[in-house]
Structure 1
């Protein structure tokens, strides 16, 4: 099992909010990539690294960022010398590769032929989430079918469906469809799907296949991992595991909410285990 953390975004919405903030403490965060923002006293991404290192060999953890933030991640990673950080080669939001292309970059560069955990670097979950439990669930699925994949899901509000990938599933928790940011009237489901996936090694080659099919499509049709999932569920078995909720640090309000939630867990990076 390998782990890939996607951290190549430019955080344009959050950057705009920070520039407009009145507090100097918030303005001081300008130039900090979202995965390195202080959450409850620790960089957001450090929670994931601590949890992953408890389950995997540290040398099996990979982070993809961009040219602008590469040096900041390299400096942070001195605390985690086995973690590999690479750049996607872009320096502006307009030339970004997109999340799926960044995943493929890691797959090709390190010739991955393993099951892979894929995590959005700007996401954290509520404290009822435990990586160990999710991996145990996946091991059961994989034992029954080594082509099985697992994603997370939580119930969102009606007005939030247009923000997320929404999954539809059968009584066995197998996903039958994923709709990217649908209107509430377009689906009866309220199962939001955050960026946390466990892909079987048999799914890994499909990433390249998807990108080849979408090579002439606008980046918005291939940037969000939800588009790949929507394509994948018709080709491979994908199941979901329920959690109670998540923090998606996309703007200042969501950042402040996340930071407040974790303030009472200062210096405790073990909650995800």
Structure 2
């Protein structure tokens, strides 16, 4: 199995917050890509690299970034094993290809013909998350149908449904549909879906179909990976794996909360997410 970390975003909200902060406490974060932000005693993405390799879930990790941050990611990866970087060649947020196109870029560029774990580069999970348990669940699903895919899900609050893609599932935890940012009254489900997908290699060609269908669509329809997931659900069996929650580093306050947790509350750094 391979892993693809999507890290080609520009972190515009976070960088805007850093620029606006006049305390000087966060000046060191200016111009730093979100996956390379220091979270506790490691860069955010380094937590994923350590856990992915320590768990034995993958034998190679690919990171898709942009031209602006490419050199920084290459310097970061030089200190790690089994991590390779590719740039989407864009330099501004307005030029961005979108997360789904970046995923396809990695698959084509590295000629990936394997099951893949797709990870949003600005997300970390709570301590109950285990890659070994995810791998076990995925393998069990694959034994029944080799087209099966697996995504993470956690329970959000009622008022948060309008912020996330919400998954509706059947009694076997197979996803029936995904509703994008619904009102609480529009669904009984509170299954929020972060960007962590385990995609079977049999479904990877569907990325081409999706992007061909969306060729003339606005970038917003190709950027959020949840749009591909929603499109995939009627075409392949996709199941949920329940976790307790995540850290989503979107702006400066959410970054500060995440960093503080990893510095003061994380119980076991070495076994985290393994």
- TM-score when scaled to structure 1? 0.96
How many residue pairs match? The answer is 273
SS of residue paired to 1:119:
strand
Could you tell me how far 1:186 is from its partner in structure 2? Answer: 2.1
Q: Distance in 1 between matches of 2:192 and 2:268?
A: 30
Instruction: Look up the match of 1:15.
Output: 15
Q: Distance in 1 between matches of 2:119 and 2:23?
A: 31
Could you give the per-residue CA deviations for residues 4-35 of structure 1, whole angstroms, max 9, x where no partner exists?
00000000011111111133231220101000
Instruction: Look up the match of 2:208.
Output: 208
Could you tell me how far 1:42 is from its partner in structure 2? Answer: 1.1
Residues 210, 228 of structure 1: 8 Å contact kept? yes
Could you give the per-residue CA deviations for residues 156-191 of structure 1, whole angstroms, max 9, x where no partner exists?
111111211111110100001011222222222110
Could you give the per-residue CA deviations for residues 109-133 of structure 1, whole angstroms, max 9, x where no partner exists?
1121110100001000011111111
Runs of 4+ in 1 over 6 A off after TM superposition: none
Residues 101, 211 of structure 1: 8 Å contact kept? yes
Instruction: Look up the match of 1:268.
Output: 269
Residues 57, 132 of structure 2: 8 Å contact kept? no
Residues 57, 131 of structure 2: 8 Å contact kept? no
| 1:196 matched to 2:196 | yes
| 1:65 matched to 2:65 | yes
Could you tell me how far 1:148 is from its partner in structure 2? Answer: 0.4
Structure 1 spans left out of the alignment, 5+ residues: none
Residues 58, 82 of structure 1: 8 Å contact kept? no
Instruction: Look up the match of 2:45.
Output: 45
Residues 41, 267 of structure 1: 8 Å contact kept? no
| 1:2 matched to 2:7 | no
Could you tell me how far 1:55 is from its partner in structure 2? Answer: 3.5
Could you tell me how far 1:45 is from its partner in structure 2? Answer: 0.4
Instruction: Look up the match of 1:258.
Output: 258
Structure 2 spans left out of the alignment, 5+ residues: none
SS of residue paired to 2:216:
coil
Instruction: Look up the match of 1:162.
Output: 162
SS of residue paired to 1:53:
helix
Residues 151, 238 of structure 1: 8 Å contact kept? yes
SS of residue paired to 1:100:
helix
Q: Distance in 2 between matches of 1:34 and 1:74?
A: 15
SS of residue paired to 2:46:
helix
Could you give the per-residue CA deviations for residues 205-234 of structure 1, whole angstroms, max 9, x where no partner exists?
111110001101101112101100100000
Residues 41, 266 of structure 1: 8 Å contact kept? no
| 1:146 matched to 2:146 | yes
